[in-house]
């Protein structure tokens, strides 16, 4: 019997071995990968788009890259499976988020900086008629740009729709942007040749305070000949600036990962006041659920509690979680590592990663320590790099923070003293 079916048995055995090898190969490759993390999926990191609802109840669409889309432009969703299947929508409103980075083009000028409006700005079809100017804090200082002079605004924006549109899945659809060409103002005289004109010198008359034979009166002042005596200059004593920079360093994030399950991470609250209130610092974070600080919790309750998207006090949300097996360099074996993508609503900006291997998490926030020192005792204060536009008061002096440069670790500050002293601006940096 074996001889009669020998070839069939060999063929069946070969097929089973090939199937087993194909199923186990991906598992072995993931278990024994090196210690480098691979990139998180594009849609999880917000590198495409996602829909949400604004505080005003408008459906919004957030894009991952800078665009020049303005109200009245068109956005098109194209199917990944069939490029002939596309759905286009007109954009009625654009929301500029406070402290977002924007590039503003007006006339033949362009400025890039942070929006300093205090609140989000909603633009509609008549946005050029807005009376209040656009306040931008750039590296060169703060600028107020009237809306009628603006050609367009580029940056990361929220697109808002008065009537809800179909919500597309970023894994099944991609976005095609249609933006009308925005022609710069054309100088119709550029084809003409400017003619060089000779101009008369300021003074060709040869007039002088001296006649031909009038002996001039000449003074010798500090080794130099002059026809007039120097004016008496009154030297006023200048008060020292009175504000100095002590330190500029990264501020550790309040939360870090302390364990995880197969589907969710556990965050630990590092705020020291949590122990004083006898709250539980450890919270199991459900995906895509907003959380806020538990301000009135009883002892033993978690320091973070779930809330809603409409809550103004919402703090953070875990948008994505992934479990990976990484090689342990010390033991030579493998161990699981949890990786979470977190959106902090107070810090703003793009989502950032927290994983179980991080001893400290840095989310882009910086701690700035400064010191007031004039006549009398000194006083220390702590600022954040988000405090551009803040006014500090010390005695009868006011200090306006005009610019904070994180890369240079410097601040541009204007001091305003009581009359008769004029405003004085200085750049403070570490030695």
pLDDT at res. 107? 81
CA distance 414 to 403: 10
Tally the C-alpha atoms within 13 A of residue 369's C-alpha that lie toward its C-beta. Answer: 7
DSSP E strand stretches across 47-108: 49-53, 59-63, 74-79, 86-90, 93-96, 101-106
**11-15, 275-279, 326-330: lowest mean pLDDT where?**
11-15
CA distance 309 to 377: 46
CA distance 100 to 114: 5
Q: What is the pTM (predicted TM-score) of this model?
A: 0.40
CA distance 345 to 292: 10
CA distance 126 to 92: 10
**With the C-alpha atoms ordered 355, 357, 359, 363, is the resulting torsion angle positive or negative?**
negative
Residue 346 burial class via C-beta count within 10 angstroms: exposed 0-12, middle 13-18, buried 19 and up: exposed
pLDDT grade for 284, boundaries at 50, 70 and 90: very high
Q: What is the pLDDT of residues 160-208, one digit of tens each?
A: 998 889 888 888 888 876 544 443 333 333 333 333 333 444 444 555 5
Alpha helices in 168-208 (DSSP H): none
Alpha helices in 78-138 (DSSP H): none
**pLDDT at 311 exceeding the cut of 90:** yes
Angle at 420 between CA 377 and CA 135, to 5 degrees: 85
Q: Where are the domains of the chain?
A: 49-178, 243-249+366-429, 252-361
pLDDT at res. 112? 92
CA distance 19 to 184: 63
């Amino acid at each position: 019997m074996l001889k009669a079916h020998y070839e069939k048995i060999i063929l069946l055995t070969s097929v089973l071995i090939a199937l087993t090898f194909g199923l186990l190969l991906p598992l072995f490759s993931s278990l024994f990968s090196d210690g480098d993390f691979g990139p998180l999926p594009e849609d999880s990191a917000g590198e495409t788009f996602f829909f949400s609802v604004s505080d005003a109840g408008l459906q919004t669409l957030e894009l991952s890259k800078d665009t020049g889309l303005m109200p009245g432009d068109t956005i098109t969703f194209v199917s990944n499976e069939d490029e002939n299947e596309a759905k286009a929508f007109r954009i009625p409103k654009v929301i500029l988020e406070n402290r977002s980075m924007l590039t503003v083009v007006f006339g033949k000028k362009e400025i890039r900086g942070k929006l300093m409006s205090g609140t989000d700005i909603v633009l509609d079809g008549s946005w050029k008629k807005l009376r209040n100017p656009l306040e931008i804090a750039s590296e060169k200082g703060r600028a107020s740009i009237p809306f009628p002079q603006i050609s367009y605004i580029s940056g990361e924006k929220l697109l808002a729709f008065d009537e809800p549109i179909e919500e597309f899945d970023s894994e099944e659809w991609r976005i095609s942007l249609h933006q009308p060409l925005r022609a710069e103002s054309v100088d119709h005289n550029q084809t003409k040749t400017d003619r060089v004109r000779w101009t008369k010198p300021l003074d060709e008359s040869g007039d002088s305070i001296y006649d031909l034979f009038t002996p001039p009166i000449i003074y010798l002042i500090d080794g130099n000949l002059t026809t007039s005596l120097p004016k008496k200059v009154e030297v006023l004593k200048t008060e020292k600036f009175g504000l100095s920079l002590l330190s500029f360093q990264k501020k550790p994030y309040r939360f870090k990962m302390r364990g995880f399950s197969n589907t969710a991470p556990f965050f630990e609250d590092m705020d020291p006041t949590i122990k004083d209130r006898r709250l539980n610092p450890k919270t199991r974070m459900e995906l895509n659920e907003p959380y806020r600080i538990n301000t009135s919790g009883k002892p033993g309750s978690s320091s973070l509690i779930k809330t809603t998207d409409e809550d103004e006090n919402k703090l953070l949300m875990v948008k994505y979680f992934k479990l990976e097996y990484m090689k342990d360099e010390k033991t030579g074996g493998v161990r699981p590592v949890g990786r979470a993508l977190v959106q902090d609503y107070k810090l703003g900006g793009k989502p950032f990663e927290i994983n179980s291997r991080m001893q400290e998490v840095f989310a882009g926030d910086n701690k700035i320590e400064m010191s007031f020192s004039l006549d009398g005792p000194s006083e220390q204060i702590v600022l954040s790099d988000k405090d551009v536009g803040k006014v500090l008061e010390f005695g009868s002096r006011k200090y306006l923070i005009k610019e904070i440069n994180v890369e240079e670790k410097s601040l541009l500050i204007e001091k305003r003293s009581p009359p008769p002293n004029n405003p004085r601006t200085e750049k403070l940096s570490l030695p």
